[in-house]
Amino acid sequence: MKHCRIASALIAVIAAFSAAHPCRAGERFSLHAFADVESAYICRGYIWDVRPYSAQYVDGELSLDDFGAIDASVWTMSAMSGSGNSARMSRYAYAEADYLLRYTYAFDIAEGWRLSSGVARQWVTNPGYKGGHTVCDWQFMQSLSNPFLTPYWKVRLIRRPFDETYWIVGVKKSFELMEGLKLTVDLAGDLGDSRHFANLYGPKPNKPTGSYRGGLQALSLVFRLDYALTDHIGLFAFVGQFDLVSDEARSAVKALKVPEARRDLTFGGVGVSVDF
């Protein structure tokens, strides 16, 4: 597939660049990966499934020194239940695979304040779903790390196979509880245009020809613990609360005749991470 070839080509370039500079390969190249089990699948401000699944992720990043960094990542999802939304799957293992290519540039604007900006191209594939299709989008994101609260935002411009614009805006703060143990609190809001709402919820209840207003869709609050077992291996666990706050979204979900139609949900997960 085209996106797989592009990702493979970039990874090959990263490897070749590192090989060409062996004395600095360890400084230039970094690898992050994790595997976890989560209690529910929530994406784009929508609860897709309330049954557990396993996710696997790997990301390789190449530092360009003063010119930023490029990275390539793959995120996969495997269902752990044959009911609910998983009943639409033709296979449970690696039912979804997302490929992402990104360029990031960061600079210090003051002591302890660092602004990071990025642009990415993502391909969301659904090989395990019956009639699954590939969703392509461009992403733009920024975050401002500082000693207080770290604000961040990301916008996804989806143009194939449907059109919509989706945002996530949030703030987070990390606390060192003890050596090797960190707590991160993350408060985020999901927003979307009228097409985003229509793609997720279908026609408006009691007004099929009407248009959604769009805007703030949902809020989520997540508490995450990270524990460093070694310099390269860590464990993590998180629990969160997701709530639809849009009257339009709550009415639309209430009208859906599927078991997964939830307007509010407490969720969580546990996993292991590796960093080099």
Q: What are phi and psi of 199, to 5 degrees?
A: -65, -35
Q: Which residues have CB under 8 Å from 210's CB, separation 6+?
A: 203, 204
pTM, two decimal places: 0.89
Q: From CA 37, how far away is CA 44, in angstroms rounded?
A: 19
Q: Residue 81 — pLDDT band, cuts 50, 70, 90?
A: confident
Q: Residue 207 — pLDDT band, cuts 50, 70, 90?
A: confident
pLDDT digits (tens, 9 = 90+) for 218-250: 999 999 999 999 999 999 999 999 999 999 999
Q: Evaluate the CA torsion angle 86, 90, 94, 98 in order and state its sign.
A: negative
Q: Which residues have CB under 8 Å from 146's CB, separation 6+?
A: 112, 113, 114
Q: What is the mean pLDDT of the chain?
A: 90
**Full residue range of the structural domain in which residue 119 is found:** 2-275
pLDDT digits (tens, 9 = 90+) for 46-55: 999 899 999 9
Q: Which of 197, 164, 248, 161 is nearest to 45 (CA)?
A: 197
| CATH number of the domain residue 250 falls in | 2.40.160.40
Q: From CA 245, how far away is CA 10, in angstroms rounded?
A: 40
pLDDT digits (tens, 9 = 90+) for 7-53: 555 555 555 555 555 545 557 999 999 999 999 999 999 999 899 99
- Structural domain tally of the chain? 1
Q: From CA 76, how far away is CA 54, in angstroms rounded?
A: 8
The whole-number pLDDT of residue 23 equals 45
The whole-number pLDDT of residue 6 equals 55
60: amino acid identity, one letter = G
